[in-house]
Amino acid sequence: MTSQPQRPAFGTVLTSHMAVATYKDGHWSRSELNPVAPLNLSPAAHVLHYSSTCFEGFKAFRRKDGSIHVFRMDRHIQRMRQSARQLVLPEPDAQQLAEMVRGLIDKSRDAVPEAPGALYLRPILFGTSANIGAAATPTTEAMLIVLASPVWDYFAGGMKPLRILVDDVNTRSAAQMGMVKTGGNYAAALGPTLSARAKHQVDQVLFCPGGEVQETGAANFFLIRQGELLTRSLDATFLHGVTRDSLLTLGRDMGYSVSERVFNVQEMLEWARTGEAALSGTAAVLAGVGTLIHRGTEYPVGNGDVGPLTRALRAQLVAIQQGDAPDRHGWLEQI
Ligand SMILES: Cc1ncc(COP(=O)(O)O)c(C=O)c1O
């Protein structure tokens, strides 16, 4: 057996450049590609006091022939604009942001790892007006930056089944903010997630306020069994994952009957006796859940391992992303 080379942890390495645009006097500046460097930011910047910030995360893949393809960038830009609107931040122009991403990928071409690695793209938007009295006033100035980070296989050590704490008390975010990709939501989920890790040795917390299954701190939740896929229907309480949407589309293509509806913890535990459960997101694609822990009791999902349907769905999406299966839905753009 060959040993895996030691790879940096996800997100810890940036490429040399970043794309930057600023908003002032009602319009966006031309964007620039600059070397990655610390920012010149007022300590009174709106974002530092009132958390006026949102971000995105998506990937570009290198194929065997060396060409580079970005996955569903339009959807991520759409979601970023929706987050900006919800936070009363200036909306990035969709075409300008797409050009910033394309330019950065092109500049970072040599840094895109081979599959199963990828180039992770991270646009961030934040309010920069210098005013510490602006709790109830939107920022009038903002900065839009796109960073790029080479990432390697999330499952380099093998796909381990996840242990998940089912939390039917805490919420991940304020109800109307779940669909907004903003840092405050991650800060809010961190405390419950760390305490669950310490107490129950779990990987993640599945937030189920009032007993309704929502999502984990950074991924959507799926129930899977032969011919059936179930996930929560879209509402403002959770992030509308692009991977979620892609898997639902692929599921339909593969003949699954797909249900998007509200379901509760009892139904999930019942399903888990014979079915499969998984988390979906850009980083992990589709990660199998092996154990659910609810009110002190451990419930194995199926036989406690990553299920075969989860593996097959994941493999199908990865094959499309890496150019090994046809892109029937026009999800990839060559850069
Ligand atoms: C809270 C949360 N839910 C779901 C997802 C999955 O979204 P996507 O599939 O678009 O990466 C993410 C990851 O971005 C997330 O942070």
What one-character-per-residue DSSP string does 200-232 give? H--SEEEE-GGGB--EESS-EEEEEETTEEEEP
pLDDT of residue 154: 74
Q: Is 332 in the pocket of ligand 1 (CB under 6 A)?
A: no
213, 259 contact by CB (below 8 A): no
pLDDT of residue 4: 56
Q: Is 216 in the pocket of ligand 1 (CB under 6 A)?
A: no
Structure tokens at 111: 């840094």
d(CA 246, CA 231): 13
CA distances 73 to 30, 96, 117, 245, 328, Å, are 20, 12, 18, 13, 16
The model's pTM: 0.95
d(CA 218, CA 67): 29
Q: Tell me, in angstroms, the distance from the centre of ligand 1 to residue 242's CA.
A: 7
Q: Is 250 in the pocket of ligand 1 (CB under 6 A)?
A: no
Which residue has its alpha carbon closest to ligand 1 atom 7? 241
Q: Which atom of ligand 1 is nearest to the CA of 217?
A: 1
Which residue has its alpha carbon closest to ligand 1 atom 4? 219
Apex 38 CA angle, 32 and 40, nearest 5: 80
pLDDT of residue 5: 63
Q: Which atom of ligand 1 is nearest to the CA of 239?
A: 3
Each residue's pLDDT, cut to its tens digit, for the chain (335 residues) gives: 445 567 888 888 999 999 999 999 999 999 999 999 999 999 999 999 999 999 999 999 999 999 999 999 999 999 999 999 999 999 999 999 999 999 999 999 999 999 989 999 999 999 999 999 999 999 999 999 999 999 987 766 668 999 999 999 989 999 899 999 999 999 999 999 999 999 999 999 999 999 999 999 999 999 999 999 999 999 999 999 999 999 999 999 999 999 999 999 999 999 999 999 999 999 989 999 999 999 999 999 999 999 999 999 999 999 999 999 999 999 999 99
CA distances 107 to 25, 27, 299, Å, are 30, 26, 48
Q: Which atom of ligand 1 is nearest to the CA of 246?
A: 9
pLDDT of residue 228: 97
If you ran DSSP here, which 8-state letter would residue 93 be given?
P
d(CA 55, CA 124): 4
Q: Which atom of ligand 1 is nearest to the CA of 185?
A: 1
Q: Is 193 in the pocket of ligand 1 (CB under 6 A)?
A: no
Q: Tell me, in angstroms, the distance from the centre of ligand 1 to residue 66's CA.
A: 28
Q: Is 243 in the pocket of ligand 1 (CB under 6 A)?
A: yes
pLDDT of residue 97: 98
Best residue among 206, 282, 285, 318 to mutate for probing ligand 1, ranked by most atoms within 8 Å of CB: 282
Q: Is 218 in the pocket of ligand 1 (CB under 6 A)?
A: yes
pLDDT of residue 30: 98
Which residue has its alpha carbon closest to ligand 1 atom 16? 218
Q: Is 178 in the pocket of ligand 1 (CB under 6 A)?
A: no
